[in-house]
A and B are shown apart, each in its own frame.
Chain A
Amino acid sequence: MALDPIRLQDEKPPRPAAPGKKWLRVTKAVNGIDTEVWEEVADDTGGPQWGARESMRLVSREVPRVDGPDKVTGRATFSHDVRLPGMVYARVLRSRVPAAKVKLDLEPARKLPGVLAVVELGEGEVRWLGRPIAAVAATTPELAEDGVRAIVVSYEEQGFAVTPEKAAAENAPKVNSRGNVRVLSKNTDTSEIDAALAQAPVRVKGTWKIPVQHHASLESHGVVVDYRGGDEATVYASTQGTFTIPGDAAGRLGLKPNQVTAVVEHMGGGFGSKFGMGIEGEAACLLAKELKRPVHLMLDRSSEFHAAGNRSGGEHEIEAGVGKDGRILAFKARVTRHGGVGQGSGHPLPYIYARDNAVFVEDRCIHTNMDSSRAMRGPGHPQASFSMEGVMDECAYAVGMDLLEFRRINLPEGKRELYMRQLERCAELIGWKAHPHKSAPDRSDAEVKVGIGFAIARWGGGGNGQCKVEVRIAQDGSVEVLSGTQDLGTGTRTYCATIVAEELGLELEAVRARIGRSTFGSANASGGSTTAPSLAPSVKHAAHNARVALFEKVAPLLGATASELEVRPGEIRVAASPSKRIAWKDACAALGPNGLSAQGEWQAHLAGNDIGGAQAAKVSVDTLTGEVKVLEMVAVQDCGLVLNLMAAKSQLQGGMVQALSYGLFEERVVDPDLGLFLNANFEDYKIAGAADIPAMKAVFEDDPRGVIGMSEAAIIPGHSAIANAIHNACGVRLREMPMTADKILMGLAALKKG
């Protein structure tokens, strides 16, 4: 019954698998949104195996990241830090009007000292606030900024709508030719559900409001284009996809993709907005092409807020009818997305919960003259979580049922066991049993009240077959693993090395992981938690193939066949007679001057897919000031084989911090009449800081499956758990983020009034 524009709910493959094949749920970008689809792949259950976890030395242990020393000493070179001989700095000029025809006089900028080149961007028409319309290159960034200020812009202003309210109004200025309000899917027949709602003994109805959030990566979007004329260029990019760069850059430089190398040595934050070069990358290429000098163009913070994407906001109108037994008898939802000139991301409701009696009435977006939303960590899910977990709690309190029991009743059959196990573990970790007021808020006269809330997540996190990995063993015994992939701070570089070291019986230090270069083997872009489940199996395969190839070389030296050999730390030996052994260095010496090279590809059986995850939050609410303090957050997560317990814990806790920040602080504020973005900086757009961090606990479940990406799941439920905890503390139900003190105080005042 539920309409589903993104094929997320196709629970079964479209047809039986062909002989020798099997179906896998993989995560792919469909219309720019990470979506799970079924893919038929080779049923490859032979080949390399992860093996018994208790016997692992490095994989699935707590391994400090290999680039830690570079990061703590400032040696780690981000694109932002690339300095080249003759390099110039560029800045962009943004449109200060949301919708206009623009005419530029670039000459005043060109006349300034130090300004070397000025280019116009776009085609004279602006449809969203802050669109870059020109770029200036100069010998220093300060002089480039002078150049930007000197450009004279004539705006032929057009009507605009920068808020959904204005855009949806009658006679609103047209944002684009497709209409300001665009219906993506609609279910016109709601009669059955309406009838059921009318008869339900308990009903909850409301509108949940979700602000636009910004990725706020600390390294802004941008590139350094090293082009000095001739037929080769190198582009250093702050990107989530090394291989998303060369094609675009080549087009702008007038080169072929095979003449452009992309480099992503380190990158300073990737949460979904950094795919491809963007307008800023195109500008840098145009300037470099003109100057035949390296151009450094990283967006400044204000441009980053205006023109580098966001998580779409929206409104969820929901009505639920519940039986006295706690079963949701009828459910109806309408989702509106606020994605600027873009479509925004959404997830069908009732999200994870059972939808036997549900109808998803409408999914629509309202366009505004603001920058397009982009994918952001778990696109669509944190929004869906916020409204649905609120609905679940409201219903549970309304029928007077325990919060977890109510969820148990309304979880879909196949997921009930997983989520209840995780929720109960969260409850135990956060002290739910001893909590004094479970089924009603604290009605005492206490000034500061404490509450607990829960929420759950789901994600795919499966891999795909885009990675090609090489493992090289040199004659001196040193080992390299090479992949073009990028490390967003998730620890990719580190697990590349640990997997190879584990397979070859080496210490971690003996293996060098070289990544982030498009001349190495291809790799998927990092979106939808697909990197680890795609790359790790490919690395394992390459390491396995390298070991087998080395065994072939060494076997004659040991008077055995390759299949009789095994690696032990630092040596290769005959498994059945361990005294027949050869040290690693001696074995490699037999390889000759060319050493050995082995390739690896994706091994579907080494990856898994489809995860849950539960989180709980404990908050205090100061009823005098409205201040919310998150005291504690806990997470219980399944994610198959954890590649590095230390990095995974950091990532899970990092997701919880981002969710806390989303729930309590973050919101883009625009002036509807003046068409201004009012908080495009880190003073007025607040993100969580050191003083906001609660005690945290992140637990990974033992999960026998292969590698599954977990980053998205980490960010999905935290803010919802906080919203529920606020209600449990003081009785204020906030259906709008960010959950700031003013809203709490208004809520408390309303409660007092009754």
Chain B
Amino acid sequence: MSDATSPHDAASREPSLSRRAFFKGAGVVAAGGLVGEAVQAAARSASLEPVRLEGTVELELDINGARQKVAVEPRTTLLNTLRNHCTPPLTGAKLVCDRGSCGACTVHLDGKPVYSCMTLAVDAVGRKVTTIEGLAPAGELTELQSAFCAHDGSMCGFCTPGFVMSISACLERNPAASLDEIQRSCSGNLCRCGTYPQVFEAALAAGRKLRAKGGK
């Protein structure tokens, strides 16, 4: 389990690799040079049959402003890497659907919200990962997080980190976001308890606070 191939030369690569594509020769060609010989062998076979890549790769990720070394199988999602391979485990992002339809796993990649269950950890190399744990300095809350508390934006709370990450990115772009824009920003997130009305209230309230503070 120690197929240690350095991915550091891939820092500037575009995140083009889905989990499904990764198992296909075509996808693997795009990842050339990243995960080493097993991949190259698979690519040479030019087969569309699933290929099982054994062993792990060592990655260095930039998570919440700190460097984090992990050893994961190439197929490991960023979500499972955060939750299962980081020290300490970053379990704020939740695994719910594992296929990009609920948004509970949302994190920021270079400031943009992404589904971390649809992002491979190897695709996060060289990019800034921000999770719910790193949104505010320890012991503090962002305006949006405070507003979620004040306006009861969570019930069970399982979807909450995902909503906070999605709407944070929206308010970062535009603190004057309208209700419609806020709804769009979290239209990729699901909540089963039905907290949506309070989430919208919280987001609008946070936008007002940010604007009052002279946020952009």
Residues of chain A whose beta carbon lies under 8 Å from any beta carbon of chain B: 64-65, 67-78, 80-81, 83, 89, 113-114, 140-143, 146, 215-220, 266-271, 298, 300-301, 488-491, 646-647, 649-651, 653-658, 661, 681-683, 687-691, 693, 696
A546 to chain B, nearest CB (A): 28
B66 at the interface (CB under 8 A from A): no
Pair A269/B91 contact, Cβ less than 8 Å: no
User: Given A89-B84, A219-B94, A268-B158, does the pair A73, B198 have CB atoms closer than 8 Å?
Assistant: no
Instruction: Provide the residues of chain B in CB contact with A83, threshold 8 Å.
Output: 83-84, 88-89, 91
Q: Which residues of B contact A (CB under 8 A)?
A: 1, 52, 54, 73, 75-76, 80, 83-84, 88-99, 101-102, 104, 131-133, 135-136, 141, 145, 148-150, 152-161, 164, 182-184, 186-187, 189-200
- Out of B89, B141, B152, name the residue touching A73 (CB < 8 Å): B141
When chains A and B are docked, how far (Å) is the Cα of A45 from the Cα of B118? 59
Interchain CA distance A216-B158 in the complex, whole Å:
12
> Could you tell me the distance between the alpha carbons of A140 and B96 in the complex, rounded to whole angstroms?
17
Distance in angstroms from B56 CB to nearest chain A CB is: 10
Task: Judge whether A654 and B80 touch: CB under 8 Å.
Answer: no
Q: Check A72 against B101 for contact (C-beta < 8 Å).
A: no
**Closest residue to A652 on the B side, CB-wise?**
B194
Q: What chain A residues lie within 8 Å of B154 (beta carbons)? A: 65, 68, 71-72, 489
Contact B192 A73 (CB under 8 A): no
Instruction: Give me 18 other A-B pairs in contact (C-beta within 8 A), A69-B149, A143-B73, A690-B186 excluded.
Output: A65-B149, A68-B149, A73-B132, A73-B141, A74-B91, A74-B132, A78-B158, A81-B89, A114-B1, A141-B84, A142-B80, A218-B159, A269-B192, A271-B192, A653-B197, A658-B192, A690-B200, A693-B200
Question: Which one of A489, A655, A683, A689 lies within 8 Å of B156 (CB-CB)?
Answer: A489
B95 touches A76 (CB 8 A): no
- Whether the pair B54, A113 counts as a contact (CB closer than 8 A) is yes
Cβ contact within 8 Å between A489 and B93: no
Contact call A141/B80, Cβ cutoff below 8 A: yes
- B158: min CB distance to chain A, Å: 3
Q: Which of A141, A218, A651, A654 has the most CB of B within 10 A?
A: A218
Are B91 and A218 in touch, CB under 8 angstroms? no
**A650 contacts B198, CB within 8 Å?**
yes
Decide if B200 touches A72 in the complex (CB within 8 Å).
Answer: no
Contacts A142-B73, A218-B192 hold; do A74 and B156 have CB atoms under 8 A apart?
Answer: no
Q: List 28 A-B contacts (CB under 8 A).
A: A64-B152, A72-B161, A73-B135, A74-B90, A74-B92, A74-B133, A83-B83, A89-B84, A142-B73, A142-B75, A216-B192, A217-B192, A218-B102, A218-B104, A268-B158, A269-B192, A269-B193, A491-B155, A647-B152, A653-B194, A654-B193, A658-B192, A658-B194, A687-B190, A687-B192, A690-B196, A693-B183, A693-B196
Decide: A654 and B194 in contact? CB cutoff 8 A. Answer: yes
- Residue contact A268 to B94, C-beta cutoff 8 Å: yes
- Supposing A68-B148, A83-B91, A682-B102 touch, asked if A218 and B73 sit within 8 A by C-beta, the answer is no
How distant is the Cα of A489 from the Cα of B154 in the complex, in angstroms? 8
**A646 contacts which of B75, B84, B94, B152 (Cβ < 8 Å)?**
B152
Q: Which residues of A have CB within 8 Å of B199?
A: 690
B156 and A266 within 8 A (CB): yes
Q: Please report the number of residue pairs spanning A and B whose Cβ atoms sit closer than 8 angstroms.
A: 186
Q: Please indicate which of the listed interface residues A266, A651, A682 has the most CB atoms of chain B within 10 Å of its own CB.
A: A682
For residue B13, give the distance in angstroms from its CB to the closest CB of chain A. Answer: 22
Residues of B within 8 A of A78 (CB): 94, 157-158
Given contacts A270-B156, A691-B183, contact A64 B89 (CB under 8 A): no
Known contacts A682-B190, A689-B189: A72-B94 contact under CB 8 Å: no
Q: Which residues of A contact B135 (CB under 8 A)?
A: 73
**Are A218 and B92 CB-contacts (below 8 A) given A73-B145, A74-B132?**
no
Check B164 against A690 for contact (C-beta < 8 Å): no
The answer to whether A489 and B76 touch across the interface, beta carbons within 8 angstroms, is no
From B92, which residue of chain A is reached at the shortest CB distance? A74
Q: In whole angstroms, how far apart are the Cα atoms of A76 and B1 in the complex?
A: 33
In the complex, what's the smallest C-beta–C-beta distance from A268 to chain B, in angstroms?
3
Q: How far is the CB of A344 from chain B (nearest CB, A)?
A: 22
Cβ–Cβ contact A64 & B136, under 8 A? no
Query: How far is B157's CA from A269's CA once the two chains are assembled, in angstroms?
Result: 8
- Nearest A-chain residue to B148, judged by Cβ: A72
Residues of chain B within 8 A (CB-CB) of A654 are 155, 193-195
Contact assessment for B1 and A696 in the assembled complex, using a CB-CB cutoff below 8 Å = no
CB distance from B55 to the nearest CB of A (A): 9
CA gap between A537 and B73 in the complex, in Å: 53
A residues within 8 A CB of B101? 681-683
Q: Does the CB pair A140–B73 fall under 8 Å?
A: yes
**Residues of B contacting A220 in the complex (Cβ-Cβ under 8 angstroms):** 96
**Nearest CB in chain A: distance from B199 CB, A:** 8
Chain B positions within 8 Å of A682 at CB level: 96-97, 101-102, 190
**B156, A268: Cβ atoms under 8 Å?**
yes
Task: Tell me the bound Cα distance from A502 to B104 in angstroms.
Answer: 36
Q: With A74-B90, A83-B89, A689-B189 in contact, is A218–B164 under 8 Å at CB?
A: no
Assembled-state Cα–Cα distance A187/B204 (Å)? 57
Quick one: closest A residue to B56, CB to CB?
A: A140
A74 engages B131 (CB within 8 Å): yes
> Please, how many angstroms separate the alpha-carbon atoms of A301 and B190 in the complex?
14
Q: How far is the CB of B65 from chain A (nearest CB, A)?
A: 16
> Which residues on B sit within 8 Å (CB–CB) of A80?
91, 94-95, 158
Nearest opposing residue in chain A for B156, CB measure: A489
Closest A residue, CB atoms, query B160 = A71
When the two chains form their complex, are residues B97 and A65 in contact, meaning their CB atoms are under 8 A apart?
Answer: no
Contact status of A268 and B157, CB under 8 A, knowing A83-B89, A142-B76, A681-B97:
yes
Residue of B98, B156, B161 with most partner-chain A CB within 10 A = B156
Do A267 and B156 touch across chains, with their CB atoms under 8 A apart? yes
Contact A690 B194 (CB under 8 A): no
Task: State how many angstroms separate the Cβ of A558 from the closest Cβ of chain B.
Answer: 39
- Which residues from A are CB-within-8-Å of B186? 690
Q: Across the interface, name the chain A residue whose C-beta is closest to B164.
A: A72
Closest to B87 in A: A83
Q: How far is the CA of A655 from the CA of B155 in the complex (A)?
A: 12
Which of chain A's residues have a CB closer than 8 A to the CB of B99?
Answer: 301, 681, 683
CB neighbours of B152 from chain A (8 A): 64-65, 68, 646-647, 649-650
Which residues in A have their C-beta under 8 angstroms from that of B183? 690-691, 693
Nearest Cβ on chain B to A390's Cβ, whole angstroms: 23
Q: How far is the CB of B132 from chain A (nearest CB, A)?
A: 4
By the criterion CB–CB under 8 Å, are A77 and B75 in contact? no
B149 contacts A72, C-beta separation under 8 Å: yes
Q: A52 to nearest B CB, angstroms?
A: 26
**B190–A218 touching, CB < 8 Å:** yes
Give every chain B residue within 8 A of A646 (Cβ-Cβ). Answer: 152
A657 touches B95 (CB 8 A): no
- Min CB distance, B78 to chain A, in Å? 13
In the bound complex, do residue B92 and residue A73 qualify as a contact, i.e. CB atoms below 8 Å apart?
Answer: yes
Complex: how many Å from CA A681 to CA B132? Answer: 25
Candidate in B88, B161, B184 with the most chain A CB atoms within 10 angstroms:
B161
A64 x B149 contact (CB < 8 A): yes
Residue from A71, A80, A654, A689 whose CB has the most chain B CB atoms within 10 Å? A71
- Chain B min CB distance to A720 (Å): 17
Given known pairs A64-B149, A689-B190, A690-B187, the reply for A301 and B155 (CB within 8 Å) is no
Distance of B41 from chain A, by nearest CB (Å): 18
Inter-subunit contact A77/B91 (CB<8 Å): yes
Which chain B residue has the least Cβ–Cβ distance from A83?
Answer: B89
The interface residues of chain B lying within 8 Å CB-to-CB of A651 are 155
Separation in Å of the B85 CB from the closest CB of chain A?
A: 8
Residues of A within 8 A of B84 (CB): 83, 89, 140-141
Residues of B within 8 Å of A268, CB to CB, are 94, 156-158
Q: Is the Cβ of B89 less than 8 Å from the Cβ of A656?
A: no
**Are B1 and A113 in touch, CB under 8 angstroms?**
yes
Partner of A218 from B52, B90, B158 at Cβ < 8 Å: B158
Residues of A within 8 A of B102 (CB): 218, 682
Question: Which chain A positions have C-beta within 8 A of B193?
Answer: 269, 489, 650, 654
Chain B residue contacts of A491, Cβ below 8 A: 155
CB distance from B180 to the nearest CB of A (A): 9
